[in-house]
Chains A and B, each alone.
Chain A
């Protein structure tokens, strides 16, 4: 994953946001970033976004494997088939735009699995291509494309439900 050189502050902020996408918890994200950063410094590793993200990811996976706090499971198509069917119409809506507060988005993201939030973050916020995400997450490009598509649909559905619920 090629990334242009960034300032130290920007690198750390991006690492933090990536950690938030995985943990969806500011405190856990800080800890994760801290551990990953220290590991890079101790190893004399490159201070690049790609290296930092890899370090964060591997630590997150190790933590979840050991602690079983947030299981990193693969996409379960059967589980989400109903959701996909129900959101297909909204996904194909003319403008695909919707209103959502920060709180609503936060709650909606909490409904996603870490692997889904991660894929969405890398694609929508970091602007990586599916191939780049596949490289970072050690998955095939097809799996990543599928993951992003379904995660986006899922999030949209949650946000729409929140939108409907907030209307008078």
Chain B
């Protein structure tokens, strides 16, 4: 115990006062996690981002609203909307989903054939004549075979074909009935499948191919 001044005693006493290492590490970690400058920058960035997002969203929403109003007005002028139109589109969508699900199943073929003419005699249950599509791009697909299926509860032919690149397509054909006649011809995507629906020669056609591989 040395003789010291009061100041020296105080300095000595307080030099022995040390924050526990665990507590020091805890507070240090807190400081490392929340650097004040970084915290402010982050807060500023977040606020700025939020403001920017708000402005962008507001403008985007305004543009969408204008487009929708425009489309609605144009639609009313050029093509008066009816519940029938809506139903037809909904029906097409339902058919598209049905076709997509069938396409994805890739069930075993019941009949092997290299063209439509060879398929017809094998698929005797069909009450309509199979016909190659008028679209040359579809007509050129190489037929592999077919199996029976149904579209909206009606018997149909599910014909499997592939293009020159080996991409597999499923073509559906069935006789047009009132229900299918009302379905809107369209192109849509469902279940990861791109579907094209159309009508010709008294038949209803549906073509399915995996998407986006087909893009």
B11 touches A125 (CB 8 A): yes
Task: Report the bound CA distance from A46 to B31 in whole Å.
Answer: 11
A21 touches B24 (CB 8 A): no
The listed residue (A29, A34, A99, A152) touching B27 by CB distance below 8 A is A34
> Within 8 Å CB of B14, what residues of A?
17, 20-21, 121, 125
Q: A97-B3, A125-B11 are in contact. Are A33 and B19 (CB under 8 A)?
A: yes
Q: Is B165 interfacial (CB-CB < 8 Å)?
A: no
| Stretch of B32-40, B107-115, B139-147 with 4 or more beta carbons under 8 angstroms from chain A | B32-40
For A, the interface residue count at a CB cutoff of 8 angstroms equals 42
The listed residue (A40, A46, A47, A124) touching B10 by CB distance below 8 A is A124
Interface residues of B in 1-53 (CB under 8 A from A): 1-7, 9-14, 16-20, 23-24, 27-28, 30-31, 34, 36-37, 39-40, 43
> Within 8 Å CB of B23, what residues of A?
30, 34
A13 touches B4 (CB 8 A): no
For B, the interface residue count at a CB cutoff of 8 angstroms equals 30
Interface residues of A in 112-168 (CB under 8 A from B): 120-121, 123-125, 152, 155-156, 159
Q: Is A44 interfacial (CB-CB < 8 Å)?
A: yes
B36 touches A46 (CB 8 A): yes
The listed residue (A9, A17, A95, A99) touching B17 by CB distance below 8 A is A17
A13 touches B30 (CB 8 A): no
The listed residue (B1, B2, B9, B31) touching A37 by CB distance below 8 A is B31
Main secondary structure of the interface of B (DSSP, over half): helix
Task: Report the bound CA distance from A12 to B28 in whole Å.
Answer: 8
Interface of A toward B, CB cutoff 8 Å: 8-9, 12-13, 16-17, 20-21, 26, 29-30, 33-34, 37-38, 40-42, 44-47, 95-102, 105-106, 109, 120-121, 123-125, 152, 155-156, 159
Q: List 25 A-B contacts (CB under 8 A).
A: A12-B24, A12-B28, A13-B18, A13-B19, A17-B17, A20-B17, A34-B27, A41-B31, A42-B34, A44-B36, A44-B39, A44-B40, A96-B5, A99-B2, A99-B3, A100-B4, A102-B12, A102-B13, A105-B10, A105-B12, A121-B14, A123-B7, A124-B6, A159-B6, A159-B9
Interface of B toward A, CB cutoff 8 Å: 1-7, 9-14, 16-20, 23-24, 27-28, 30-31, 34, 36-37, 39-40, 43
